[in-house]
């Protein structure tokens, strides 16, 4: 089997049931594709107390600069109800010009295409005039504790340095060539607990209903808007994601109430300044007596999620132009440069080198019957191949 065939590459990867945290044979399959191309392949196992060990892979072709990294993950989310799939989720079945399988677009398809693009580049032009590496984790769909962040640190401590990175996440909303991600919003999550005094619903003067205190606090976080957006980023947005009282009795005023929230913020803020603004709003709302006339200020506590994601924007014109030009040369479309969507492992890579993201169309990711058009696999391989040539032609020696 030739690694230059993205369809065969993807079939091999999908048939490995690598549901987080299981390696499932996917890294072994990738290693079998890369070694014949001349890559030196290393497997790194990361550990953390209370979490399963995660297998990761790092492979490099070449020893000199410039150095281009391709990053991604072979782990996938669970398939859900397998009986609801048109074809078994790990069969890599081809039906009507599409390949079905968990991970087809998120993101084994991107890995399969980049391997094929490198193989074709070697066949047509020989080894690149620098180095290409694959940084592949098995922990992107999980807690992301034993994955890319630790793999980067491990590789950097061994002396690895990178000039640019392409992450193969599915970035296109509708058609291949729609969108390149050049940054990501930051993300902060937290939980607010409001304390009250339990009592009988018929005797509210003897109790203090925490729900009455919770409502103005939650409202203060959702309105007014945190900002109006920036030229590169949409407006920051906070959503209350859960409200929990834990009260099963309709005639009992509870003793506490909680709500959780998540904010996706642009480069108007840092994780620290957005936290400070959230606390300012909560403190101001705690004095609101609209729903609690004559009461003392609301008593609340806030706990933050351990690891915020920091906002970033890539400004490396050479990297962006090489990828945008490749997309337009192959598809005829000029891709939008975007910072929308959730977080990705690019948030870790940005601390080591400039990073952009481009992959398949993401419409079926994480869904029943996740699938990819075979034509898109060929097109993405051509885009990646053109990008590799353009980047090395323009990269500083």
Catalytic sites, residue numbers: 75, 140
CA 42 to chain centre: 24
Rg (the chain; Cα; Å): 24
């Amino acid at each position: 089997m030739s690694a230059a065939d993205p369809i065969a590459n993807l079939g091999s990867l999908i048939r490995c049931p690598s549901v987080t945290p299981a390696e499932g044979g996917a890294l072994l399959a990738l290693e079998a594709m890369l070694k014949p191309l001349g890559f030196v392949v290393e497997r790194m196992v990361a550990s953390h107390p209370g979490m399963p060990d995660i297998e990761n892979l790092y492979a490099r072709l070449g020893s000199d600069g410039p150095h281009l990294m391709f990053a991604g993950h072979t782990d996938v989310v669970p398939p859900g109800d397998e009986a609801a799939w048109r074809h078994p989720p790990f069969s890599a079945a081809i039906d009507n010009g599409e390949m079905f399988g968990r991970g087809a677009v998120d993101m084994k398809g991107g890995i399969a295409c980049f391997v094929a693009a490198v193989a074709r580049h070697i066949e047509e032009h020989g080894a690149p005039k620098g180095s290409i590496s694959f940084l592949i984790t098995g922990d992107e769909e999980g807690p992301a504790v034993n994955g890319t962040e630790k793999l980067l640190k491990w590789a950097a401590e061994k002396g690895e340095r990178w000039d640019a990175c392409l992450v193969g996440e599915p970035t296109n909303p509708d058609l291949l060539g729609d969108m390149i991600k050049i940054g990501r919003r930051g993300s902060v999550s937290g939980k607010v607990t409001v304390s009250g005094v339990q009592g009988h619903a018929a005797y509210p003067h003897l109790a203090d209903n925490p729900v009455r205190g919770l409502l103005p606090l939650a409202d203060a976080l959702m309105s007014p808007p945190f900002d109006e957006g920036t030229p590169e980023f949409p407006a920051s947005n906070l959503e209350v994601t859960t409200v929990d009282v834990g009260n099963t009795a309709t005639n009992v005023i509870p003793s506490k109430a909680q709500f959780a929230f998540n904010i996706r913020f642009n480069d108007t803020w840092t994780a620290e300044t957005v936290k400070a603004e959230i606390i300012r709003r909560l403190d101001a709302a705690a004095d609101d007596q609209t729903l609690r006339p004559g009461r003392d200020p609301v008593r609340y506590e806030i706990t933050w999620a351990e690891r915020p994601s920091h906002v970033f924007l890539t400004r490396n014109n050479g990297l962006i132009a090489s990828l945008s030009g490749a997309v337009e040369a192959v598809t005829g479309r000029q891709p939008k440069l975007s910072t929308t969507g959730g977080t990705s492992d690019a948030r870790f890579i940005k601390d080591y080198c400039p990073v952009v993201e481009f992959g398949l169309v993401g419409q079926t990711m994480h869904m029943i019957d996740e699938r990819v058009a075979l034509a898109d696999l060929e097109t993405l391989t051509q885009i990646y191949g053109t990008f590799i040539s353009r980047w090395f032609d323009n990269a500083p020696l």
